[in-house]
Amino acid sequence: MNFLQVIEQRRSINPLDATYLQPKEELIASLQSILTYTPSSFNKQTQRMVLLLEHSHQQFWDLVIYAIQRIVPVEQFERSKAKISLFRNSLGTVLFFDDTYATKALGNQFPLYQDSVETWSVEQNGMLQINVWNGLVSLGYQANLQHYTELIEEQTKEAFLIPSHWKMMGQMPFGVAKIAPNPKEYIPLVNRFLVRD
């Protein structure tokens, strides 16, 4: 698959199967390379990742289910649990973080840009997320991006020994697609893309 084919095939898909398409070590090495080479402001590399596989992956989504159970009405819980169980049944989850110490240090190092470093941390984490997503597609997987951060950030850090100064930015369950994606409509490029010579 070439680069444009990867971008075209990247979709938000559920359900996902818990099947490895290559040795686990190859998957880990690919994700490590993506983290290494994703750009960041002034090359400060404030992005952080935690890869959850097997028991840890399932444990994470159990934390989400428990957190949801505490806040949703009883009559809505089973529907929420069924949705989260789709994520739990996938192969793994990538957790995305920003190292707030490193981000703050960047602002201190460059006072002129102090007001911009938080925006940059979000942007460079977004670059990491799309690079990981496209990287997973290139390996034969599909994924989706979730944001249960407010519900489970502290419990996640405690359960998986994650530094307290890492700020959670998103969760990406991934696996082998069990279904084909629905057709997607695109706004005509004439309304979105300008060329000026």
pLDDT at 69 over 90: yes
Pick the CATH number of 3-191 from 3.30.230.10, 3.40.50.1100, 3.40.109.10, 3.40.1160.10: 3.40.109.10
| pLDDT tens digits, one per residue of 127-181 | 999 999 999 999 999 999 999 999 999 999 999 999 999 999 999 999 999 998 8
Sequence-separated (6 or more) residues with CB below 8 Å from residue 46: 40, 98, 99, 102, 103, 106, 121, 124
Supply the pLDDT for residue 93.
Answer: 98
pLDDT at 113 over 90: no
pTM of the model: 0.96
To the nearest whole percent, how much of the chain has pLDDT over 70? 100
State the pLDDT confidence band at 182, using cuts at 50, 70 and 90.
confident
pLDDT at 55 over 90: yes
Sequence-separated (6 or more) residues with CB below 8 Å from residue 88: 57, 58, 61, 62, 65, 173
Q: Which of 65, 64, 54 is nearest to 27 (CA)?
A: 54
| pLDDT tens digits, one per residue of 11-46 | 999 999 999 999 999 999 999 999 999 999 999 999
Sequence-separated (6 or more) residues with CB below 8 Å from residue 11: 142, 181, 184
